[in-house]
């Protein structure tokens, strides 16, 4: 699919052409056409991506960086070409700044445990910049996905450092001014999401990077909800590490990406060790390769990387600026529709403030799981729960929310069906008569 044009929202005809590339979206669910509004959890895959992985497995599959035979060479070329494709997509200075991981959670753990190993003296003098001691601080936000919170909790517990967090507002958002109040001379790491998976808030990355670097702190960016949905130039943003997943951006499960500045990756001690990431092994000790191989121990996700590269090419064919415009248009359509429904509380940035193409909300008197099940009966797939962000929901005074999230294949009709069905929910459960249940 190649439809790059002006930097405006996709037309409905263009979206319908895109949608035709996705076999899974051609079905009915519970007797209704499928409206898939759960792309924030996992995106669907176009035929082009499915075909690319299948073609690789049928023709070129072999272990990479090992064999001397033809298939091994073809497989290695495909694997490294995929790395170069993804590197270009996110603004990496060179392909070696892209490390293949199992997913974004794995990538964030890789960084956190690398800090922990450095704090135990691993990595020598080059790794001193990653060493944490009691009195040092790791800063996150109250809005983080557990994958960008729990690893830092573990790092603090291991090293004696203190975990601190930027509090959020009643809407679940935070500002650069809030960050400035919490970044101090003791801050060594600042980790936060580029786009919140609950509120859709777009973080002030450049401002936070400037504040952190002024204090000598390193910045780790969770880009899971930005890499698939908007133009991303990590080098320009100025962050030091970033993580995202393949399955959220039209690609397969089982592959994620850690991006890092080359000089930092080369100095960071690995935490997963074994074959393929070493230069010399004796019975007493081992020496590790430079990045990215030093972090890719064992058998690599080769076909998954190939498929992810095809997903990147698919998104580039549409135009990531148009993807962003399309999703922001749909988010506003959702917000406008939900604003007319009584008993709905939407969390996140107020009207007029840019947000991603996802909307989380609470229905007064109806549990989020009941909301999701009612919508599913209408053929509308959404996410319900705490979205792996329990502290944020606790701060908002909510146990759970319902989240509708769009992508390149989401139509205005999908959104309109969703809004209409949400408008029926309180009546169906009797919550409009009782006030609350």
Q: Residue 162 maps to which CATH number?
A: 3.40.640.10
Catalytic pick from 231, 388, 395, 416? 388
Domain shared by 264 and 185, yes or no: yes
pLDDT of 252 over the 90 cut: yes
In this structure, the answer to whether residues 58 and 182 fall within a common structural domain is: yes
Whether 224 is catalytic is: no
Local confidence band at 436 (pLDDT 50, 70, 90 cut-offs): very low
Asked if residue 4 belongs to a domain, the reply is no
Q: Is the pLDDT of residue 374 over 90?
A: yes
Domain total of the chain:
2
CA atoms of 138 and 118, how far apart (whole Å): 15
The predicted model gives 240-246 an average pLDDT of 98
The confidence score (pLDDT) of residue 5 equals 58
Please identify, among 300, 316, 332, the residue that sits at the C-terminal boundary of a domain.
316
Question: For residue 348, how many C-alpha atoms fall within 13 Å in the half-sphere facing its CB?
Answer: 28
Residues 40 and 197 sit within 8 Å (Cβ to Cβ): yes
Structural domain harbouring 36: 12-45+320-434
User: Is residue 427 one of the residues assigned to a domain?
Assistant: yes
Residue that is written with structure tokens 């000790």 in the block: 285
Query: Quick one: pLDDT band at residue 437, thresholds 50, 70, 90?
Result: very low
Phi, psi for 16 (deg, rounded to 5): -65, -35
Tell me what percent of the residues of the chain surpass a pLDDT of 70: 97
Contact indicator for 73, 47 with CB cutoff of 8 Å: no
d(CA 152, CA 159): 10
End-to-end CA distance of the chain, in Å? Answer: 47
Answer yes or no: is 3 within a domain. no
Read off the pLDDT of each residue in 217-229 and give the average, rounded to a whole number. Answer: 98
The DSSP letter of residue 271 is S
Pairing verdict, β 286-288 and 162-166: unpaired
pLDDT tier for residue 3 given thresholds of 50, 70 and 90: low
6 is a domain residue: no
**292 and 328 co-located in one domain:** no
Verify that 220 and 133 share a domain, yes or no: yes
Check whether residue 55 and residue 40 sit in a common domain: no
Is 396 a member of any domain? yes
Other beta carbons within 10 angstroms of residue 27's beta carbon come to 9
CB-based burial label for 115 (10 Å; 0-12, 13-18, 19+): buried
């Amino acid at each position: 699919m190649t439809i790059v044009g002006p930097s405006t929202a996709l037309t409905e005809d263009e979206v319908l052409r895109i949608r035709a590339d996705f076999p899974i979206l051609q079905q009915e669910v519970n007797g209704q056409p499928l409206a898939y509004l759960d792309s924030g959890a996992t995106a669907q895959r176009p035929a082009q991506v499915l075909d690319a992985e299948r073609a690789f497995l049928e023709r070129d599959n072999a272990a990479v960086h090992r064999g001397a035979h033809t298939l091994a060479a073809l497989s290695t070329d495909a694997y490294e070409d995929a790395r170069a494709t993804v590197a270009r997509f996110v603004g990496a200075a060179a392909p070696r700044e892209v490390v293949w991981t199992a997913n974004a959670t794995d990538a964030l753990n890789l960084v956190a445990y690398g800090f922990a190993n450095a704090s135990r003296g691993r990595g020598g003098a080059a790794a001193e910049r990653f060493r944490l001691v009691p009195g040092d601080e790791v800063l996150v936000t109250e809005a983080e996905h557990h994958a960008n919170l729990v690893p830092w909790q573990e790092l603090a517990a291991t090293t004696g450092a203190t975990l601190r967090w930027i509090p959020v507002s009643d809407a679940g958002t935070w500002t650069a001014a809030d960050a400035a109040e919490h970044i101090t001379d003791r801050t060594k790491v600042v980790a936060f999401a580029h786009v919140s998976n609950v509120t859709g808030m777009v973080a002030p990355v450049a401002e936070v990077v400037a504040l952190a670097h002024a204090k000598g702190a390193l910045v780790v960016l969770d880009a899971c909800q930005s890499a698939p949905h908007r133009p991303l130039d990590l080098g320009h943003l100025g962050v030091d590490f970033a993580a995202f997943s393949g399955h959220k951006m039209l690609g397969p499960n089982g592959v994620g990406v850690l991006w890092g500045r080359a000089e930092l990756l080369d100095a960071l001690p690995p935490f997963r060790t074994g074959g393929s990431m070493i230069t010399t092994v004796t019975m007493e000790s081992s020496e590790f390769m430079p990045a990215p191989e030093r972090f890719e121990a064992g058998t690599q996700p080769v076909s998954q990387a190939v498929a992810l590269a095809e997903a990147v090419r698919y998104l580039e064919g549409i135009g990531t600026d148009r993807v962003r415009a399309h999703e922001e248009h749909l988010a506003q359509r959702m917000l406008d529709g939900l604003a007319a429904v009584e008993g709905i509380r939407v969390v996140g940035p107020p009207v007029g403030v840019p947000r991603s193409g996802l909307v989380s909300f609470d229905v007064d008197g109806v549990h989020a799981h009941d909301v999701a099940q009612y919508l599913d009966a209408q053929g509308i797939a959404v996410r319900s729960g705490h979205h792996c962000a329990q502290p944020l929901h606790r701060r908002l005074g909510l146990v759970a929310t319902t989240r509708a999230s769009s992508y390149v294949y989401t139509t205005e009709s999908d959104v309109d069906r969703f809004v209409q069905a949400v408008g029926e929910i309180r009546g169906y459960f009797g919550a409009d008569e009782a006030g609350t249940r």
